[in-house]
Amino acid sequence: MRQAPLPVRDGLGPARVRLYGGAVLTELAARFGAPARAKVLAGEVVTADGMVVDDTTVLPAGASVYLYRDLPDEVPVPFAIDVLHQDADIVVIDKPHFLATMPRGRHVAQTALVRLRRELALPELSPAHRLDRLTAGVLLFTTRRELRGRYQTLFARGEVRKTYIAQAAADPGRVLPLVVRNRIVKRRGHLQAVVEPGVPNAETLVESLSPVGLYRLTPRTGRTHQLRVHMASLGLPIVGDPLYPNIVDVAEDDFSSPLRLLAQRIEFDDPVSGSRRQFISRREEGWI
């Protein structure tokens, strides 16, 4: 991946805008309004090669420019990030509920990535995988750009064993363990992922840990909202889930009912040292 021509600033990298072609000032003003026009005139927009864009710059369709975005107003997430492990290559955290992994949509500064870059002074920090904003637990970051691909590949190839703990209703008639296997599709613009007919692309082992509704979930694939969809499909929606089986409107500043889903453990062979790594969340005790 090509390095951005502007450095990370205050924990956040520059935004990349792919152009339709023509006068850059005119296009950015039309697409993003007066603030984007002001950034061009102030010399705050650059091309992929680092050239400063001005009011005479014309670029072809498909070219990209970079600029620092104006941060939206965000509700602070009132929970600390617990660092489980840090060395020269990786940082492993115990992510709290309600904190997104990385900037997306209305969550920018209030994300694990931006907060950690600021707190640890690691501008090249990058997530090797993601957890849903509402899911808590073990999350791994790489500290340097050249390491990112090696760790991300582990997750992409399914070479990381991930174990989750979930709380849901007790179902004495349900025979466990069982494997849930089906096809999950998440479409842009839709809050919920759905199960559709077709070749299965999602698989989860579901085991009972107690008769009062505590479950261990071992995903063998990594589809969006997979564990939440699979538990809801069994008639056992995870406690505190505002999406499955039904969408519930929750205020942005309401942190009173966290999703009872915890990424409890990850295990893998480190691609740099070759050693076996295991990281376990500290949030389980007293959480469920």
Which residues participate in catalysis according to the annotation?
A: 132
**Sign of CA pseudo-dihedral 211, 214, 216, 217:** positive
SS3 279: strand
Which stretch of DSSP H or E encloses residue 136?
strand 136-142
Task: Give the distance from CA 189 to its chain's centroid.
Answer: 17
User: Rounded to whole angstroms, what are the CA distances from 279 to 93, 116, 144, 273?
Assistant: 9, 18, 20, 16
Distance CA 65, CA 59 (A): 9
Q: Could you say which DSSP state residue 186 is in?
A: -
Report the distance separating Cα 24 and Cα 37, nearest Å: 9
Residue 278's DSSP bridge partners are 267
Neighbours of 3 (CB within 10 A): 10
Length of the chain: 288
Query: How far, in Å, CA of 170 to CA of 157, rounded?
Result: 33
Beta pairing, strands 261-269 & 136-142: parallel
Return all residues near 254 (Cβ < 8 A) that are at least 6 apart: none
Which residues, other chains included, contact 67 with Cβ-Cβ below 8 Å and sequence gap of 6+?
A: 6, 14, 15, 17, 36, 39, 44, 45, 46
Outline where 33-144 has alpha helix (H). Answer: 34-41, 112-120
